[in-house]
Amino acid sequence: EVQLVESGGALVQPGGSLRLSCAASGFIFSTYSINWVRQAPGKGLEWVSYISSSSGVVHYADSVKGRFTISRDNAKNSAFLQMNSLRAEDTGIYYCARDRHFEDWGQGTLVSVSS
Amino acid sequence: DVVMTQSPLSLPVTLGQPASISCRSSQSLVYSNGITYLSWFQQRPGHSPRRLIYQVSDRDSGVPDRFSGGGSGTDFTLKISRVEAEDVGVYYCMQGTHWPQTFGQGTKVEIK
C-alpha cells in the first residue's frame, strides 16, 4: 500500500523558517517524482513545488520562488520542503503527492504563520 | 499560467440523481505526445484530495464506475451517474500539460 506521511508543520512567526518532510513507503520511491501542494484555510488547492525522481528537475510556483527549496533523499525514501522567509499567506495544509500527476496524496501537515 | 475554470461552484444534488461538473482551460491541454493531461480530484470533508480520473477519462483503481470523465481540447466534464451520500465534497480539475500545473477553483457537491 502506498503511503505518504508529511511532518514538520508548526506555528511560526513571519520571517521564520520550517522544514517539511514527506516519508514514503509502499512503492519504489526513487522512480517517482514528488509534488508539494498547499491549501489555505477554506480555500482551494495550490501547487507549490515539484522534484523529479533523480532531483535533476525542480520547479516552483512564483509565489514561493526564492524562498522555498525542494529536495529528496532516495536512500531514506523521503522528500523535503525547506521554507524560509515565511509569510502569513503561506499558512495552510501542505500535502506531498506522488508523481507528475498527483496519483497519491499524504494526509497533510499544518503550517501556521502568525505573530 | 493556464487558468482552469469550473462550473458550477456549488452543486446541490438529490441522492440517486446524476451530477455534472464542467472544467474549461484557457488553452489546449493536448501535450506534444498527443496525451491530454487533465485530472479530477475529490476532497471529502476533513480528508486529503484523492485522484479519481486521469488523462481525461481513465478511472483510478478503486474509483466507482458511476464516476466518468470526458471532453477534449479545452472543455472537460466530470459526471456522476447516480449521486450517493459518500460523494459529498469538493471536486477539482487539474491540468498537468503546461507548467505550472494548475487547479480549478473547486465545485462543492452537497445533498439537497
Using an 8 Å CB-CB cutoff, list chain A residues near B90: 44
Look at residue A21 in the predicted model and tell me its pLDDT: 98
Name residues 4-33 of chain A within 8 A of B (Cβ): none
Q: Residue B24: CB partners within 8 Å, gap ≥ 6?
A: B4, B5, B6, B7, B74, B75, B76
Using an 8 Å CB-CB cutoff, list chain A residues near B92: 44-45
Cis peptide before B100 (omega within 30 of 0): yes
Q: Using CB atoms, pick whichever of B39, B48, B50 lies closest to residue A108.
A: B48
Look at residue B22 in the predicted model and tell me its pLDDT: 98
Look at residue A107 in the predicted model and tell me its pLDDT: 98
> What does the buried/exposed string (b/e) look like for B12-38 if buried means 16 or more CB atoms within 10 Å of the residue's CB?
ebeeeeebbbbbbbeeebeeeeeebbb
Q: Using CB atoms, pick whichever of A59, A101, A105 lies closest to residue B99.
A: A59
pLDDT tens-digit profile of B14-24?
Answer: 999 999 999 99
Q: Using CB atoms, pick whichever of B51, B90, B100 lies closest to residue A59.
A: B100
Using an 8 Å CB-CB cutoff, list chain A residues near B99: 59
Q: What is the DSSP string of A14-47?
A: TT--EEEEEEEESS-GGGS-EEEEEE-TT--EEE
Using an 8 Å CB-CB cutoff, list chain A residues near B50: 105
Look at residue B25 in the predicted model and tell me its pLDDT: 98
CB pairs under 8 A between A and B: 51
pLDDT tens-digit profile of A23-72?
Answer: 999 999 999 999 999 999 999 999 999 999 999 999 999 999 999 999 99
Residue B44 CA, chain-centre distance (Å), reads 13
pLDDT tens-digit profile of A59-80?
Answer: 999 999 999 999 999 999 999 9
